[in-house]
Amino acid sequence: MKNITIYFLILTTMGYIACNNSESNQNVEIKDSTVVADDFKYLIEQFADIKIMRYQIPEFELLSIKQKELIYYLSEAAYWGRDITFDQNYKHNLFVRRTLEEIYKNYNGDKNSENFRHFEDYLKIVWFSNGIHHHYSTDKIIPDFSKEYLVELIKNSPNAKFPLDEGKNIDDLIIKITPILYDTNIASKRVSQDSKKDLVTTSANNFYEGVTQKEVEAYYATKKSPNEEKPWTIGINTKVVKENGVLKEQIWKISGMYGKAIEKIVYYLEKAAVVAENENQKAHINKLIEYYKTGDLQAWDDYNVLWVSDLESSVDYVNGFIENYGDPMSRKSTWESVVNFKNIEATKRTKIISDNAQWFEDHSPIDNKFKKKEVKGVSAKVITVAALGGDCYPSTPIGINLPNADWIRKYHGSKSVTMENITYAYDKASLGNGFLEEFAFSEEEIALAKNFGPQAGNIHTDMHECLGHGSGQLLPGVSSEALKNYQSPLEEARADLFALYYMMDDKMVETGLFKSLDIAKAEYNSYIRNGLMTQLTRIKPGKTIEQAHMRNRQLIAKWCFEKGQSEKIITKETKDNKTYFVINDHVKLRELFGQLLKEIQRIKSEGDYEAGKNLIETYAVQVDAELHAEVLARFEKLKVAPYGGFVNPKLVPVFEGDKMVDVKVEYPDNYAKQMLEYSEKYSILPTYN
């Protein structure tokens, strides 16, 4: 299990409408610093249930040439991990992607037909999801075109360089790829959450092969960290296989699995180290390089201690095997990268939050024995993203809190970031889509969202990442893996509840974070509306909720709705034959948030698996079929995609001889072109690893 799981707060892409005069809604000292050209085209394409957007890099031109060069090298390192993520998600993903790309480039039939449009959309979904499973639900995505048309596509692509196995021909390729794409009994779920089944064998991810859940659990029960006080996160960077009846780990390092891609990552990290902003930054980049070369988890821990302690650098990055959403055992970590630099102006608000971290911890509604007596090393900043890679591309988080190891967070602290140029792009791309007007009950609710929604969302993310995940502590002897497959949604709920509870506190106004608590009301309205209703737009009819963040949000909203029924804190209303959820008492809702936070902290601190399981299974999983059908019908009329992702800006180095003298930023507006360019330039791994 991850030690402090899930540090990503996934943006509800339709939840807010950006306010053009955002500065008027904030204190003078905390300005909206993400102001860019109004005529910039943010939304560039929509297909299936996905919209593709662009983001800008404000103030990149103000950076020094050394900082620009550093960002360029770190970005190149980010792009080289793409194939790793595809392969981790499913062992046939690179085979499928390369086959489909060859068809796309070489098919000599009618490319204007409806069938080819379905094929093109499917390829775009595969690119978006880093494989053939939906990026959010993890369900296998079945093509909308027939098997017969697939055969036609393959046979009418004479110049295609298909990834054929040695000695095999086109007919063999067709026989191989057809069941991979169409057979619903093969690899139906990338991540299985059904605790009644073997989570390992029913998950299609490429973290295990030829082994069962019981075997994996028994294997890791024998693995101990050499220092119990500072335990390694055993197994985060390996694949478990069985050889001659014995379980073994294939390590992801230069001389091991994924070695060719890791070698490229290291090459650009070495270049980055040369132009590091300071000695501290150079030290943690070099320690990351050591980890990639050796696969040694002690080097990984040493890197994280150095990285979290670097508060001096403006340019920063995430690079490595980080999050374990993709493993139902919550052990293996998927590769990802984010390259960024500090947004100085907007970071003023996160500094207020981090400076008051001890006050928030001391006044938390949880039991005193679960509180940290001394909060250490809590740092938070607002960042401007310059590049996304691996599991953070094209679909990206809007906030991050790292490192994951409990003991590092306890003794050395954590870093929290809010990606403000990403949230700004989401807001701008959603302008005028009608979503808010469709699902908000009253004009007052709509006005609150328009006036305060973007600010409320950003501060909720700040609080969630900086304080929520960093709050509380485990009791002595309690393993961070005790909650097993329920750890992720419970941890996300804990962080959300911490943020929600404090957003309605007078401390927010006292510190200058809020001008009025109307900002909190806007966030409460949005959260309940989303948790009980609008996030269902992401679920197919008849399906349950499986994604950790969605489970978290429904758990909180549904629990509060139920517990507050006697006082009508939240009521279900009908207007014009449409369902709405209305908060009648925001102050009492805050009290409910505090009660649930207290219980979930107890569950985490004591490792109470059964209580955690009961909460999730009772409130977070099942979907009201009648309400779901209504929400889908209302949403369908808006023609809005429920999921969003981005193309990266293109960083173009400028040289005078061998010396880099500048880096220019270009903003591509062609999704397919960028995906093909990345596959051409950054794809070095074998089709099977």
Residues with pLDDT less than 50, the chain = 1-36
What is the rounded end-to-end Cα distance, in angstroms, of the chain? 25
Q: Which residue matches tokens 């075997």? A: 215
pTM to 2 decimals? 0.84
pLDDT value of residue 474:
87
Per residue, the 3-state secondary structure of 418-461, as one string, reads EEHHHHHHHHHHCCCCCHHHHHCCCHHHHHHHHHHHHHHHHHHH
pLDDT value of residue 356:
94
Q: Where are the chain's structural domains?
A: 84-189+659-681
CB distance 449 to 526 below 8 Å: yes
DSSP, residue by residue, 456-505:
HHHHHHHHIIIIITTS--PPTT--TTTTGGGHHHHHHHHHHHHHHHHHTS
Residue 336: CA count within 13 A, CB half-sphere: 22
Listed in sequence order, the residues at least 6 apart from 218 whose beta carbon sits closer than 8 Å to its beta carbon are: none
pLDDT value of residue 132:
98
- Chain segment 191-218, per-residue pLDDT in tens: 998 888 999 999 999 999 999 999 999 9
Query: Taking Cα atoms as reference points, which of 612, 676, 672 lies closest to residue 117?
Result: 672
CB distance 103 to 109 below 8 Å: no
Report how far residue 366's alpha carbon sits from residue 507's, in angstroms, rounded to the nearest whole number.
Answer: 18
pLDDT value of residue 55:
98
pLDDT value of residue 465:
86
CB distance 383 to 418 below 8 Å: yes
Report how far residue 341's alpha carbon sits from residue 386's, in angstroms, rounded to the nearest whole number.
Answer: 8
Peptide bond into 541 cis (omega under 30): no
Q: Given its phi and psi angles, is residue 43 left (phi above 0), alpha (psi -120 to 50 degrees) or beta?
A: beta
Neighbouring-strand partners of residue 51: 46, 644
Buried b or exposed e, range 303-329, using 16+ CB within 10 angstroms: bbbbbbbbeebbbbbbbbbbbbbbbbb
Report how far residue 640's alpha carbon sits from residue 537's, in angstroms, rounded to the nearest whole number.
Answer: 10
Identify the burial level of 284 via C-beta atoms within 10 angstroms of its C-beta, where 0-12 means exposed, 13-18 middle and 19 or more buried.
buried
